[in-house]
Amino acid sequence: MLEAIVFYTLAAFVLGFGVLVITARNTVHSVLFLVANFLCVAVMYVALAAEFLAVIQVLVYAGGIVVLYLFVVMLVNLKAIPEAHMDPRRRSRLGFIVASAILLEVSAILVYAARRADAMPLPAGGGDGTPMTGNTEIVGWLLYTDYLIPFELASMLLLVAMIGAIILARREA
Amino acid sequence: MHLHGTALWTLHPALCTLHYPMIETYVIPLLKILVLLNAVLVAVTYMVLLERKVIAWVQVRLGPMRVGPHGVLQPIADAIKLLLKEDITPARADRFVFTLAPIVSMVPALIAFAVIPFDSEITLFGYRIALFVADVNVGLLYIVAATSISVYGIILAGYASNSKFPLLAGLRASAQLISYEIAITMILVSIVATAGTLSMVGIVKAQLEAGVWYAFIQPVAFVTLFIGGLAETNRAPFDLPEAEQELTGGFHTEYSGMRFALFFLAEYANMIVVSAVATTLFLGGWLRPFPNVEALSFLGFVPGWMWFLLKTFVFLYVFIWIRATLPRYRYDQLMRLGWKVLIPLALANLVVTGIVKVLL
Amino acid sequence: MPDSIFETSELVINMGPQHPSTHGVLRVVLRLDGERVISADVVIGYLHRGIEKLCEQRDWMQIVLITDRMDYIAAASNNLGYCETVEKLMSLEVPKRARYIRTVLAELQRIASHCLWLGTHAMDIGAMTVFLYAFRERELILDLFEEYCGARLTYNAMRIGGLPLDIPPGWDAKVRAFCDILDTKVNEYEELLTHNRIWRERTRDVGIISGQDAIAIGLSGPALRGSGVPRDIRKDEPYAAYADFEFNVPIGWTGDTYDRYLVRLEEFRQSVRIIRQALDGLPEGPIIGKVPRLIKPPAGETYHAIESPKGEIGYFIVSDGKSNTPYRFRVRPPSFCNLQALPRLVKGHLVADVVALIGSIDIVLGEVDR
């Protein structure tokens, strides 16, 4: 009962902030609502007993990535909202059809996934009997053993992005 | 979802065994929060006086002496003055964000105190109370997350002032904060590797088991964390973004009155958080010196929380001492120090810690 | 990367005239490219009081009062320069005792001026404690002067032909005590700054000017000597009693801010040396020479320069022999000429260095604007 109340309140906040992100007139307000959205999602993670994910969500996403969004927004300094609906090249009917098709497909996948009885179980303990007590330990164990290659690939991707940004921004002195 | 279970794991396990569950689950935590918040706010206000006095004594002066005996009531006078000041908002500034910025600066510093352990357990009126608000099992990460939210306060302050100089200064200051966050987080990872747990209480207990404060096992980490902490809190020698001698007044140029005061109280609160974290991680938190040596058990007469406060105070004193003594770094030198010196040091420390942990 | 994709525009920042770090009412208009200074335009004149014109309407004795207000940090040096110029014009001889005491006063002024320079320069770079330590020593000097002539800042301490006042009894013992104190204090400043890594990073290789460029621009004083040019008027064309004393003139190597800092720091020690020698060898005798009641220099013009703490301060005085006032009174202020180097020094540096460089040149606006 308590769980349901908490979940629905949080979900309302998350969705509400999400809508505000899109509809805010001021770009900076939009980014701030995004931060609020992420914080609410972090609280949902806590409610799911995934406390490591919650903290990482705040630390990395809200505290790092959105800060960079803010930098860009402030430096680019958008004053006027682009009047997209006046663009003569828009094909709204085609866009609407494509969007509904994708929505149908996504819903189908969700329904199918919910119907499957056997969800993949998480390993309760590590391979060699290391005591797994919390979310952090489980995530850490999986990340560095079963999912090591994707982890390293993601790091490489980040490194390439960083180097690219440095090269782009570097001035020929 | 076991929500009921997660509501209770935020409290100390021992409390579940007491007689009156209502008091334990609701009243005591609320009281703890109230006491802690008030204590922190008073401490932060009196940090102003402490800083003025210490810097004055270093500079062969006396500092505030008039308001109250030896200036003891000075912070109260300052607070009253700031509250009575005219509330100026720059024209065409974003009012909502302008007011939000100091709040976003202050609140994360305050909530970080929730996981700082002042002592393990004391007995008060027949209740065993643990002197921390919550023992979160990702406590250390929680503190880092809170400090990374406080970066928003600076950026928003710079933006909301609707003037190019505070904006640029705010962006610079936040770039500094983000860069040093990386070094600090890596140091914290070395400590977590040494202690084996992310929980603040767990780290102190690990030091008790090891019998020695981590400052002696991880000296490089200690120094690096301290330097990183200086940079994170925008303190000298890393306070270029808010220095008055520079061209632009910094991100708080357009702020006056209580909003301005909130920024500086937030800075002091951050200082106290960094000192408390350094104390917990490296100086054994509430443990007395040489916690495992029986011969010195007479030191146990001093309660744990007093040791904790003493150690935190030492850190705060060193913060102020450094501000009085050292010149300040230029911005590019500051960033170079963060990226090219501290991060490699922190990484190297992490690697060495890993090797040592595996070999021993 | 072609530059057209990332267009950056120049930012123009105005620094001053009201600013905590411009040491007076100085305005510097900076053009920045990001953080780097492309050019700096120095706007002066905010403290112009028409001193040169004023002096044309004062008689020769009254001008001493006005010269105090030019370099108000080292007022007695201004007095000395002016009195010596008129003495040169009138071919007056100043008695030895007066010359020795004048030297002591001038060297005390050098120490006082350098104390203020050190305090403000260090504070601009962030070491705020040195400001208070340096002013503590400056207060001692001001006390000495107050005992000597009654004033702390604008002394009117010299007359054409000598001095109006002899030193009070016990004054020279106090000066000696001060010299002993200063020796230990200069070591304190060195400990705090000279080997401090942050200080070195802020001042090394900042604002380098070569000796040739320095001479071409017209720098003088410690700013010139920091670039390796061994020019000191006290040695090259001795005035007052400097020919009788032994002292060294510190010269820098690279011409950066750090060298200028070291030069001035060493000048503290050399000034103390001179003061001690002067007090040791202080002869008895009159303190003012044979000066006519009404001072009226013969018609002619002369230029005489002395080494003030900021550099070469020169007086060009034209007398028409008839009136009580000079026909033309022109000062060559060291700060004005040194300030010309600022645009060249700051080019290519960061904004934070501009403040350090203004402090490194050591200007006083009273002199720049007159």
The stretch A95-108 carries a mean pLDDT of 90
The stretch B271-299 carries a mean pLDDT of 82
A130 and A73 part of one domain: no
Q: How far apart are CA C58 and CA A76, in angstroms?
A: 62
Q: How far apart are CA C99 and CA C84, in angstroms?
A: 10
Residues of B with CB under 8 A from a CB of C: 55, 58-61, 164-165, 236-237, 239-240, 243-247, 324-333
| Interchain contact C5–A (C-beta under 8 A) | no
Q: Can you name the residues that pair with C315 across neighbouring β-strands? A: C304, C331
| Interchain contact A172–C (C-beta under 8 A) | yes
Residue B16 pLDDT grade (very low, low, confident, very high; cuts 50, 70, 90): very low
CB distance A67–B178 less than 8 Å?
Answer: yes
Confidence at residue C175, expressed as pLDDT on a 0 to 100 scale: 93
A1 and A55 part of one domain: yes
Which of C27, C36, C120, C128 best tests the B interface by mutation, with the highest count of B CBs <10 A?
C128
The ranges assigned to domains in chain B are 22-359
* CA geometry: angle C269, C273, C277, nearest 5 deg: 170
Q: What is the CATH number of the domain that holds A8?
A: 1.20.120.1200
Q: What is the mean pLDDT of chain B?
A: 83
Residue C4 pLDDT grade (very low, low, confident, very high; cuts 50, 70, 90): very low
- Final residue of a domain: which of A78, A109, A142? A78
Q: Which two tokens stand for residue C73?
A: 């940090």
For residues B124 and B169, the answer to whether their CB atoms sit within 8 Å is: no
Confidence at residue A78, expressed as pLDDT on a 0 to 100 scale: 57
DSSP structure string for B264-324: HHHHHHHHHHHHHHHHHHHS-TTPPSSTT-GGGGGGGGS-HHHHHHHHHHHHHHHHHHHHH
The answer as to whether C225 is a domain residue is yes
Confidence at residue C240, expressed as pLDDT on a 0 to 100 scale: 84
DSSP secondary structure code for residue B69 in this structure: G
Q: Which residues of C touch B326 (CB under 8 A)?
A: 126-127, 196, 198
Residue A86 pLDDT grade (very low, low, confident, very high; cuts 50, 70, 90): low
Q: Which residues of B touch C351 (CB under 8 A)?
A: 246-247
Q: How far apart are CA A107 and CA C59, in angstroms?
A: 100
Confidence at residue C2, expressed as pLDDT on a 0 to 100 scale: 41
Residue C321 pLDDT grade (very low, low, confident, very high; cuts 50, 70, 90): confident
- Could you give the number of structural domains in chain A? 2
φ and ψ of B168, to 5 deg? -65, -40
Domain of A150 in residue numbering reads as 122-173
CB distance C354–B244 less than 8 Å?
Answer: no
Residue B201: pLDDT above 60? yes
Partner residue opposite B148 with nearest CB, options A26, A47, A64 = A64
Q: Does pTM top 0.90 for this prediction?
A: no
| Interchain contact C1–A (C-beta under 8 A) | yes
CB distance C201–B330 less than 8 Å?
Answer: yes
| Interchain contact A168–C (C-beta under 8 A) | yes
A127 and A65 part of one domain: no
Chains that touch A (3 or more CB pairs under 8 A): B, C
What's the burial of A144, exposed, middle or buried (CB within 10 Å: 0-12/13-18/19+)? Answer: exposed
The stretch B269-282 carries a mean pLDDT of 92
The answer as to whether A145 is a domain residue is yes
pLDDT in tens, C331-360: 999 999 999 999 988 888 988 888 889 889
B–C CB contacts, 8 A cutoff, strictly below: 74
- Final residue of a domain: which of A24, A45, A78? A78
Residue A39 pLDDT grade (very low, low, confident, very high; cuts 50, 70, 90): very high
The answer as to whether C33 is a domain residue is no
Taking only residues 112 to 141 of chain C, the set having a beta carbon closer than 8 angstroms to any beta carbon of chain B reads 122-129, 131-133, 136
A71 and A140 part of one domain: no
Residue B89 pLDDT grade (very low, low, confident, very high; cuts 50, 70, 90): confident
pLDDT in tens, C180-202: 999 999 998 988 899 888 999 98
Q: How far apart are CA C349 and CA C209, in angstroms?
A: 13
Indicate the length of chain B as a whole number: 360
H-helix or E-strand spanning residue C122: helix C96-125
The answer as to whether A18 is a domain residue is yes
Partner residue opposite B327 with nearest CB, options C15, C35, C125 = C125
Q: Which residues of B touch A32 (CB under 8 A)?
A: 97, 100, 156
Q: How far apart are CA B5 and CA B21, in angstroms?
A: 15
Residue C5: pLDDT above 50? no
Taking only residues 39 to 58 of chain A, the set having a beta carbon closer than 8 angstroms to any beta carbon of chain B reads 46-49, 51-52, 55-56, 58
Query: Which residue of chain A is at minimal alpha-carbon distance from B100?
Result: A32
A15 and A74 part of one domain: yes
What's the burial of B16, exposed, middle or buried (CB within 10 Å: 0-12/13-18/19+)? Answer: exposed
Residue C3 pLDDT grade (very low, low, confident, very high; cuts 50, 70, 90): very low
Q: Which two tokens stand for residue C176?
A: 């000696």
- Could you give the number of structural domains in chain C? 1
Chain B closest CA to A107's CA: distance in Å? 24
Confidence at residue B120, expressed as pLDDT on a 0 to 100 scale: 79
What's the burial of A102, exposed, middle or buried (CB within 10 Å: 0-12/13-18/19+)? Answer: exposed
The stretch B244-259 carries a mean pLDDT of 70
Which of A45, A67, A72, A75 best tests the B interface by mutation, with the highest count of B CBs <10 A?
A67
Confidence at residue A79, expressed as pLDDT on a 0 to 100 scale: 57
**Amino acid letter for position C146:** E
**Amino acid letter for position C153:** L
pLDDT in tens, B150-161: 888 888 888 887
For residues C15 and C42, the answer to whether their CB atoms sit within 8 Å is: no
Among the listed ranges B13-22, B78-87, B102-111, C136-145, which one has the minimum average pLDDT value? B13-22
Q: Which residues of A touch C2 (CB under 8 A)?
A: none
Among the listed ranges A66-80, B62-76, B271-285, which one has the minimum average pLDDT value? A66-80
Confidence at residue B269, expressed as pLDDT on a 0 to 100 scale: 93
Chain B closest CA to C262's CA: distance in Å? 17
Q: Which residues of B touch C126 (CB under 8 A)?
A: 236-237, 239, 243, 245, 326-328
Q: Which residues of A touch C1 (CB under 8 A)?
A: 167-168, 170, 172
For residues C237 and C360, the answer to whether their CB atoms sit within 8 Å is: no
The answer as to whether A99 is a domain residue is no
Q: What is the CATH number of the domain that holds C76?
A: 1.10.645.10
The answer as to whether A57 is a domain residue is yes
Confidence at residue C313, expressed as pLDDT on a 0 to 100 scale: 92
